[in-house]
Structure 1
Amino acid sequence: MRWVSRAAAASVLSWLILLAGWTADAAADQRQNAPGAFDFYVLSLSWSPSFCAAAEERGNASRSQQTQCGGRSFSFVVHGLWPQYEHGFPDYCQRPAPRLDRRIMASMLDLMPAPGLIYSQWDKHGTCSGLSAQAYFETVRKARAAVKIPAEFVDLAAPKSVTADAIEEAFVKDNPGLSRSAIAVMCDRTRLSEVRICMNKDLQFRACEEIDRRACRRDQVVMPPVRGG
């Protein structure tokens, strides 16, 4: 009887856990992929030299990527501005996405130097903002303007080995109001890939525990130099 009671209790506990999961999923689904229904933004800044080095290793850089990885030098570029839930994120909130005007795309090439990236970011993330394309990319520009890139990363002339912690610290030092809980450094096996910064809808820095948990855990990462630096 004692064994049966434990089994029954375990069964009930498993059912309650499963029911809680269903309840949480149902609550999330009420606004899943609804344009404009999100909690905050993540501004993702890609370290362009790492992106280009990886593309060269794969040997499959697209024509769009060649704009970024050609002769002009780039350091941090905007990968995207992503609407987020406290847990998870929406994507592709309008299918098909409203067609992005080519003039809007061209206006963003100084920050996002690959046409294909701009189009894909609009389709996947911009449509979830609840904003028109013009307003969304104006918000991208404002978000980027709100972040100061530390001087040591602007014209990096030689490869740099650095800890993710040191990169975070440099950004926090140069951006008043930015806390360590609002920034996450991302990496691949060896290189810095991105810096992700969390912002409220009014583009003020804010903490984001889920984003921070996904940060790079390597002791050191390599920052390839800026091309032509």
Structure 2
Amino acid sequence: MFRRSLFGRMLTSFACLLLAAVIGFGATTSASAQDRRQNAPGEFDFYVLSLSWSPSFCEGAAERGNGGGRSQQLQCGGRPFSFVVHGLWPQYERGYPEYCDRDSWLDRNIMTSMLDLMPAPGLIFNEWKKHGTCSGLGPRGYFETIRKARAAVKIPPEFIDLANPKTVSPAEVEDAFIKINPGLPANAIAVTCNRSRLSEVRICMSKDLQFRGCDEVDRQACRRDQLTMPPVRGG
């Protein structure tokens, strides 16, 4: 009886160790397959060009009552801004990399050169750290790519000098962009919202800045029926 019991416990222990080894090997293999790509600079599938509707950002900031510092004052002061660049984000087909080089720094001269498109110094620094370091490009190359991506997208004329609040549906905004940008497919653009305001228009582009579909980004679009576009400030 003792021998049988001891033998049984030995078999059970061996089986548990074998199972743990198999599971551990599978987990290690899976993690290794992911780690070879996750947050590796330049290893991504496409870009998302995010265009923020500046009046919505500024109205939200005013409601929160925070001064926002110099960055917010530059964007929400007297100069009229409509759509501004939030960022150009490397993406995977599912998910995205971020902070691929936390030790990287951005030269102040490069930052100031981008203020016409991204009118907030803090935003520019953050976009480089969080997204630009994952592009596989140096700082100058990354921001030159942002400028090229922005130049490749036409803004519908009805949004450029919006003088009064405008009520729109997300589909209407998408259709306006699709109409004026030949080759932009419906699944390559997504409108996002913050409460009842239009927040951003996100457009997916290949690494060579051609429009391309992006189902995951498209699924994250705003589902509200109607949105408000506050008017352009100042000006």
Q: TM-score, normalised by structure 2?
A: 0.86
The alpha-carbon deviation at position 65 of structure 1 amounts to 1.1
The alpha-carbon deviation at position 71 of structure 1 amounts to 0.6
Match of residue 49 from structure 2: 43
Q: Would the alpha carbon gap of residues 78 and 21 (structure 1) be closer, same or farther in structure 2, given more than 3 Å must change?
A: farther
Residue 50 of structure 2 contacts residue 200 of structure 2 at CA under 8 Å; is this kept in 1?
yes
Q: Does 1:196 align with 2:202?
A: yes
- Structure 1: how far apart are the matches of 2:29 and 2:225? 39
Match of residue 60 from structure 2: 54
Q: Whose radius of gyration is greater, 1 or 2?
A: 2
Q: Would the alpha carbon gap of residues 24 and 168 (structure 1) be closer, same or farther in structure 2, given more than 3 Å must change?
A: farther
- RMSD of equivalent CA atoms: 1.7
- Structure 2: how far apart are the matches of 1:67 and 1:199? 29
- Structure 2: how far apart are the matches of 1:186 and 1:165? 11
Match of residue 223 from structure 2: 217
Q: Does 1:173 align with 2:187?
A: no
Q: Does 1:205 align with 2:216?
A: no
- Structure 1: how far apart are the matches of 2:53 and 2:43? 29
The alpha-carbon deviation at position 63 of structure 1 amounts to 1.9
Q: Which aligned pairs between 1:56-135 and structure 2 lie closer than 5 A?
A: 56-60=62-66, 61-97=68-104, 99-135=105-141
- SS of the equivalent of 1:33 reads coil
**Amino acid of the structure 1 residue aligned with 2:62:** E
The alpha-carbon deviation at position 24 of structure 1 amounts to 6.2
Match of residue 9 from structure 2: none
The alpha-carbon deviation at position 28 of structure 1 amounts to 2.9
**Amino acid of the structure 1 residue aligned with 2:95:** G
- Counting aligned pairs with the same residue, the percent is 71
The alpha-carbon deviation at position 23 of structure 1 amounts to 7.1
Residue 77 of structure 2 contacts residue 234 of structure 2 at CA under 8 Å; is this kept in 1?
no
- Structure 2: how far apart are the matches of 1:148 and 1:21? 46
Unmatched segments (≥5 aa) in structure 2: 1-24
- Structure 1: how far apart are the matches of 2:192 and 2:29? 32
The alpha-carbon deviation at position 102 of structure 1 amounts to 0.8
**Amino acid of the structure 1 residue aligned with 2:41:** P
- SS of the equivalent of 2:55 reads helix
How many aligned positions are there? 210
Residue 198 of structure 2 contacts residue 228 of structure 2 at CA under 8 Å; is this kept in 1?
yes
- Structure 2: how far apart are the matches of 1:167 and 1:222? 11
**Amino acid of the structure 2 residue aligned with 1:165:** A
The alpha-carbon deviation at position 29 of structure 1 amounts to 2.7
- Residue deviations 1:104-142 (CA, integer Å, cap 9, x gap): 101000000000000000000000000010000000000
- Structure 2: how far apart are the matches of 1:123 and 1:75? 25
